[in-house]
Amino acid sequence: MNRRWINSLPLRVKLIMPIWLLLTLGIAVVGLAVTHIVSKNLDQSLLSRTEIMANGAASNLTAALAFEDRATGREQLAALGYDPDLMAARVTRVDGSEFVNLMRLPDDCFTMGAGIICSKTPFTKVSRSISLGTDVLGHIDLFMSRSAIVNERNRLILFLALGTVLLSLFSWMFAQLLHRIVSYPLASLHRSMSNMIRLGIHGHTIPIYHNDELGRLTDCFNDLVSSLEARDKQLNATFKQLEEKNSYINQVLDTMDQGVMVIAPGDQVTYYNPAAAAHLAQLGCDPNDLGQLLQILEPSSVMHQISHAIDAHQPLTGLELHHRHTNKLFRVSTHPMATATHSLLQFEDITEQHVAEQRRKMAEYIFDQSKDATLVLSRTLAIEAQNAACIRLFGQHRHWSELSVDQHLRFGRPEVKTLLSSGSHQWQTHMLSALGTSLPCQISVRTLTNRQGKTEAFVVSIIDQSAAMEIKRLNHLANHDPLTGLANRVRAQKQLLRSHDMGWDVHVLFVDLDGFKMVNDQFGHRVGDELLKVVARRLLASVAQSDMVARLSGDEFLLIINNAAEIEPVAERVLHKLSQSIIIDGARPQISASIGIRHWRAGESGTFNSIIEQADKAMYAAKEAGKNRYAMALEGSQESSVS
């Protein structure tokens, strides 16, 4: 099994891997051996140096130990301290008591009894006896650190690893070089032959690297490829011409939106394009069954015509058929083919065209029958279409500018920007009719966009507001005093009854001008009319916007105050404003006012006339009391309280 696996490996692997592995392993083994020998030599050197130091110190300490001279002992141990690997030195007497010591322990070391314990630092202990003749006086112990040896060994291992990696890379490059010389030409030849089998013959030749047996083999292969390629090109050119003809015909048929079928005698379908398959699938028909298609389309008389034309090999065009279930409409034609006795049946779905045509006619009808003037403008504002109402009001025109009688009608940059961003724009203006009269109009413009969202045209609707404005004017005249613009008696009655029906407390102030007749007699009616206008403005300024000021007749006015907590401040304000000086064309008419007030509470019964009558009586009470004051009508009584 292993031999079979090795035999199946590529040639480049068989060549590169052994060389690389052998060189790498050899370098690693040699490096490890050198590291081991160097470490042993360093250990032996440290041990020898330590023994020499111990022997010398034991000889020098004999006298100091014999005479208990500790100072000399310390000097001897201090001399040993010049060795950087010395961790500690200890001199003990025969009885085991300590004579002197020298301690230079690292941070991870500590003494325990007569020994030293280190957690990380490796060390060696050497002991020697101190003798005088045959008498043993004591012992000396030297503790030497092996850290320098360990560090040196680690550096050697690091250098070995780096050297091994570098030499391994070198050996790999060397193996690659051998592979290029030997295996690469064979691999190139193999790839080219595989590509020829898989992809066919192509014009790529294999380069010849060396003029040896492999080079000559490669040259023969290149000659073979060139010969086969020439023959392959001739065959491909012939096939390509045939394929181009068939492809052109198929592309034309496949890209057509119309369904195309080739019918042989006997209603046998020999070909149909994708459009025909799609159309028939929507109808639930099998494209290969022409008889089924002839049965589901109507009218049947037209289907018989088509079947007869196919059998007789005759042309037939412009026929329309309807599918009864889907309501689809088709335009069908047959064309006899020049070769053989086949016929080409062509049909097109015209349902959307038919619906679009119906919608177009309906849109034209709605456009033309619209009561509002409507026209379609191009992007250059040329008039493309006008309905009957537009022609009737403004006449026939070619450009939008011909309709313009007001500067606002012209599309400026702001209007165009608003129109394009929102899709619509609307404004009020006056336009000149075909009869030459100015018509108040409301113009609405909206954009027509294509499928890409680009504006193609504008639809303009013009609504003549003459009738609406006339109705509004007449309604205003019916409810307002023509001189002062205030509400008249009719509108005042509606407002008063509406406020009471809504459950509001209402104060009705009946105001009559004092001295107005003298103004008319002294200054004339024109000044009197202007005076009434000034009075109207001052009355409006005296009440809130939600309240109402009306002119009943002549110099009589009516104020309707809703939900006022106190009415006296309002009455005082009215008296004050009307008593202020008035200047009209140099004239200084002097007037004041008498006010009658009726409080019509929510839920209280009464009629408009009765409330006005009570306020009127209160006003007369104010006049009788001296004018320029107000009087309150007392509820449930005909009396008034004058202030």
pLDDT digits over 286-341, tens only? Answer: 767 766 666 667 777 777 777 777 777 778 776 777 776 776 777 777 878 765 67
Determine which of 164-168, 180-184, 257-261 has the lowest per-residue pLDDT on average: 180-184
Q: CA dist 38 to 31, 153, 156, Å?
A: 11, 8, 9
Model pTM above 0.75:
no
Contacts made by residues 416-425, CB under 8 angstroms, sequence distance 24+: 419/445, 419/447, 419/458, 420/447, 420/455, 423/447, 423/449
Q: Is 462 helix (H, G, I), strand (E, B) or coil?
A: strand
- Does pLDDT of 408 surpass 60? no
* pLDDT band of 361, cuts 50, 70, 90: low
What average pLDDT does range 500-515 have in this prediction? 93
Checking if the pLDDT of 415 tops 70, the result is: no
Give the three-class secondary structure for 118. strand
pLDDT score for 9? 66
Query: Does residue 400 surpass a pLDDT of 60?
Result: yes
Query: What are the residues whose beta carbons fall under 8 Å from the beta carbon of 574, sequence distance 6 or more?
Result: 509, 511, 538, 539, 542, 559, 593, 595
Give residue 615's pLDDT.
93
Least confidently predicted of 203-212, 395-404, 496-505: 203-212
Q: What is the pLDDT of residues 29-53, one digit of tens each?
A: 887 888 778 878 888 887 888 888 8
Fold for domain 256-350? Beta-Lactamase (3.30.450)
* CA nearest to 518, candidates 595, 624, 591: 591
Tokens of 540: 């409006």
As a whole number, mean pLDDT of residues 376-402 equals 82
Return d(Cα 237, Cα 230) in angstroms, integer: 11
Q: Which of 356-370, 414-428, 491-505 has the weakest average pLDDT?
A: 356-370
367 pLDDT band, cuts 50/70/90, is low
Asked if the domains at 256-350 and 480-642 fall in one CATH topology, the answer is no
CA gap 341, 313 in Å, rounded: 7
Please report the pLDDT score of residue 201 as a whole number.
61
Pick 480-642's CATH classification: 3.40.1260.10, 3.40.50.1970, 3.30.70.270, 3.40.50.300. 3.30.70.270
Do 449 and 420 touch, CB atoms closer than 8 A? no
Q: Which helix (H) or strand (E) holds 304?
A: helix 300-312
Q: pLDDT at residue 568 above 90?
A: yes
Q: With bands split at pLDDT 50, 70 and 90, how would you rate the model's confidence at 96?
A: confident
pLDDT digits (tens, 9 = 90+) for 326-352: 767 777 778 787 656 777 777 777 777
Paired tokens of 523: 């200054």
Given pLDDT bands bounded at 50, 70 and 90, which one contains residue 189? low
Mean pLDDT, the chain, whole residue set: 79
Q: How far apart are CA 297 and CA 285, in angstroms?
A: 11
Q: What is the pLDDT of residues 430-472, one digit of tens each?
A: 887 877 788 888 888 888 887 777 877 888 888 877 777 878 8
| Residue 581 pLDDT exceeds 70 | yes
Using DSSP, state whether 344 is helix, strand or coil: strand
Percent over 70 (pLDDT), the chain: 77
pLDDT for the residue numbered 210: 60
pLDDT at 212 over 70: no
- 241 falls in which pLDDT band (50, 70, 90)? confident
The pLDDT value recorded for residue 71 is 83
Please choose, from the candidates 569, 576, 577, the residue with its C-alpha nearest in 3D space to the C-alpha of residue 597: 569
Q: Is the pLDDT of residue 620 over 80?
A: yes
Query: Is residue 334 a contact partner of residue 344, using CB atoms and an 8 Å limit?
Result: yes
Work out the pLDDT band at 426, boundaries 50, 70, 90.
confident
What percent of the chain is modeled with pLDDT above 90? 20
What's the 3-state SS for 377-402? EECCCEEEEECHHHHHHHCCCCEHHH
pLDDT greater at residue 231 or residue 620: 620
| Residue spans per domain, the chain | 13-151, 256-350, 370-469, 480-642
Please determine, for residue 368, whether its predicted confidence score (pLDDT) is greater than 80: no
How is residue 407 written in tokens?
Answer: 């500067």
Q: Is 107 a residue whose pLDDT tops 80?
A: yes
Reported as half-sphere exposure (CB side, CA atoms, 13 A), residue 525 has a value of 2
Query: What is the spatial distance between Cα 164 and Cα 161, in angstroms, rounded to a whole number?
Result: 5
What's the pLDDT at 539?
95
Would you say residue 393 has pLDDT above 90? no
Confidence of residue 639 (pLDDT cuts 50, 70, 90): low
**Topology at the third CATH level for domain 13-151:** Beta-Lactamase (3.30.450)
Cα distances from 640 to residues 136, 596, 611, in angstroms, run 150, 9, 13
Is residue 397 over pLDDT 90?
no
CATH for 370-469 is 3.30.450.20
